[in-house]
Amino acid sequence: MRWLVFMIAALLATALDLGLASAMTLRTLDFLTPSFAAVLVAYTALHGRADHVLWGAWVIGVLADLSPGSAEGAEAIYIIGPHALGYVFGASVILTIRSMVFRHRVLTLSACTFACVLSTGLATVLTGIIRFWLPFTGGAVVPFGLGELGHSFGDALYSGLLAIPAGWVLFQTMPLWRFDYGVGRRTA
């Protein structure tokens, strides 16, 4: 995988999540919002070398955790972890199943994006719960609860839908990436 291409795509996806994604927010449905970054994680996880995929997912996660707009609380603190760990977990799941799926299908990418966003939601909720219960963390800074989990599920579904057009665009850029993972099921 070409890291320069990856870094440009990662910065662009993070910026799109902070900007253009608000044009797609479902205002009447609890502000469900799709994630471009999750689509990118799923895309690289389907095609890249395993170690590259995991590092890439971590980098995108850290970018998302540190990106402007994700600050928590009145002190504007950035918690590094919820996205970084969530995307790595999501990428690991995709790496485990990718030899059994049609990797070049947009629908596969859509399902994998769903898994990525859901795993990020789980990581966020777990971080929130741990921060809430540990006496030294300074209280509940990361939101958690069933509502948060439900919201993540909605975001995951919506991101899966976004992955269909966004994935098509990503598949057109395939030669630029020079992925070196060649084993797996392909459609004829």
Partner 1 sequence: MFRVTERSNSFFSIVLILTGVLAILPTNWLAWTRDLSDIVRLPITPVAHAGNRLAGWLRPVDAVDGMNESDLRERMIVLEDERDRFKRLYHALQLRTQDLSAQLGLLQGLPDRMLQGPRPPLILPTDVTARDPGDVVSPVEVEVTPQIDERVNVGDVAIWRHEYLVGRVASRSSFRVTILPLAHLDTGPFQVAVLIPGQEEAGLAPPRMLLNPLGDGSFAGEVDHRHGTLPGSQVVLADSEWPPWAQALGVGVIESVEQIDEAPLRDLVIVRPRIQLHQLPEIILLASDEDPMTLTGELKP
Question: What residues pair up with 32 in beta bridges, in sequence order?
Answer: 26
Q: Where are the alpha helices (DSSP H) in the chain?
A: 3-18, 36-47, 50-66, 82-97, 106-133, 146-172, 174-177
> Closer to partner 1 at the Cβ: 115 or 175?
115
Q: How far is CA 171 from the centre of its chain?
A: 17
State the minimum distance, in angstroms, from the CB of residue 36 to partner 1: 10
Amino acid at 17: D
Restricting to residues 45-84, name those near partner 1 by CB under 8 A.
50-51, 53-55, 58, 62-63, 66-82, 84
> Closer to partner 1 at the Cβ: 135 or 175?
135
Helices 106-133 and 82-97, packing angle to 10 deg: 140
State which of residues 5, 12, 107, 174 lies at the interface with partner 1 (CB under 8 A).
12
CA angle 165, 94, 117 (to 5 degrees): 60
> Closer to partner 1 at the Cβ: 62 or 176?
62
Contact 17, 36 (CB under 8 A): yes
SS3 label, residue 57? helix
Q: Which stretch binds partner 1 (CB under 8 A): 21-29, 106-114, 160-168, 171-179?
A: 21-29
When asked if residue 29 is in the footprint of partner 1 (CB under 8 A), the reply is no
Contact 40, 13 (CB under 8 A): yes
When asked if residue 31 is in the footprint of partner 1 (CB under 8 A), the reply is yes
Restricting to residues 121-180, name those near partner 1 by CB under 8 A.
127, 130-131, 134, 136-139, 141, 143, 147, 151, 155
| Binding interface with partner 1 (CB under 8 A) | 11-12, 14-16, 18-23, 25, 27, 31-33, 50-51, 53-55, 58, 62-63, 66-82, 84-85, 88, 95-96, 98, 127, 130-131, 134, 136-139, 141, 143, 147, 151, 155
